A and B are shown apart, each in its own frame.
Chain A
Amino acid sequence: GIQVEQSPPDLILQEGANSTLRCNFSDSVNNLQWFHQNPWGQLINLFYIPSGTKQNGRLSATTVATERYSLLYISSSQTTDSGVYFCALEGGSEKLVFGKGTKLTVNP
């Protein structure tokens, strides 16, 4: 099945810093989503981005499907950005395959 690798596994930032999270995948995808899992365990849908670039406030994402990677950019990070960021993909089937996530800690 499709493989998903996220990097880095852990990231610690000072408030106000920028960061880039990466998701590499092994096969072509029909669906790619980025999620933020907050400290209460909720999975917040950030982007649906099987290709191209999208922006939402301080967050943006780019997927280069031909090179099999996606990037999530967080600018001017805030303490509320802390949590785990998951990349999840749908290849030839209906299921989303999740990466192991990047745990982000933003310190005040």
Chain B
Amino acid sequence: EPEVTQTPSHQVTQMGQEVILRCVPISNHLYFYWYRQILGQKVEFLVSFYNNEISEKSEIFDDQFSVERPDGSNFTLKIRSTKLEDSAMYFCASSVDSNQPQHFGDGTRLSIL
């Protein structure tokens, strides 16, 4: 069964550094998402992306965050200047259409020191 893949599985970064999290969505899917989960808390929506542009974003997704689909397969989340509170598990998801099931990757655990 096709799956969403995320790299790296764990990223450790110094505060203030830029970090790029990478995702390869399922190939025929058109909608892409990023979510995050701070340790011990619920999963929170960050951003959705469709037709090469952001379709929705949360208040968490401020100017430090950006997303890109640089080619036909990758979908990236960039955090420009990381803060301690950015430490979390970041999940990428994709769906064939809106209102269809979202399929999640295994996540990238981001640790900011």
Query: Are B99 and A90 touching (Cβ within 8 A)?
Result: yes
**Known pairs A31-B99, A41-B109, A90-B99; A95 contacts B58 (CB<8 A):** yes
Contacts of B101 in A (CB 8 A): 31, 33, 45, 48
Contact across chains for B33 and A41 when beta carbons are under 8 A apart: no
Q: Which of A35, A45, A95 lies in contact with B33, CB distance below 8 A? A: A95
- Which residue from chain A places its CB closest to the CB of B43 in the assembled complex? A98
The answer to the question of A56 belonging to the interface, with a C-beta cut-off of 8 Å to chain B, is no
By a CB distance below 8 angstroms, the chain A residues around B91 are 43
Given A43-B43, A99-B42, A101-B42, decide whether A31 and B100 contact each other with a Cβ distance below 8 A: yes
Please tell me if the beta carbons of A94 and B42 are within 8 angstroms of each other in the complex. no
Q: How far is the CA of A99 from the CA of B44 in the complex (A)?
A: 10
A85 CA to B89 CA, complexed, in Å:
17
- Chain A CB within 10 Å, residue with most, of B43, B48, B98, B103: B43
Chain A: interface residue total (CB-CB under 8 A):
22
Known: A31-B99, A45-B101, A45-B103. Contact between A94 and B31, CB under 8 A? Answer: yes
Are B48 and A86 touching (Cβ within 8 A)?
no
13 new A-B contacts at CB < 8 Å, known A41-B89, A95-B56: A30-B99, A31-B102, A33-B101, A33-B102, A41-B107, A48-B100, A86-B42, A90-B98, A90-B99, A93-B56, A94-B98, A96-B93, A100-B42
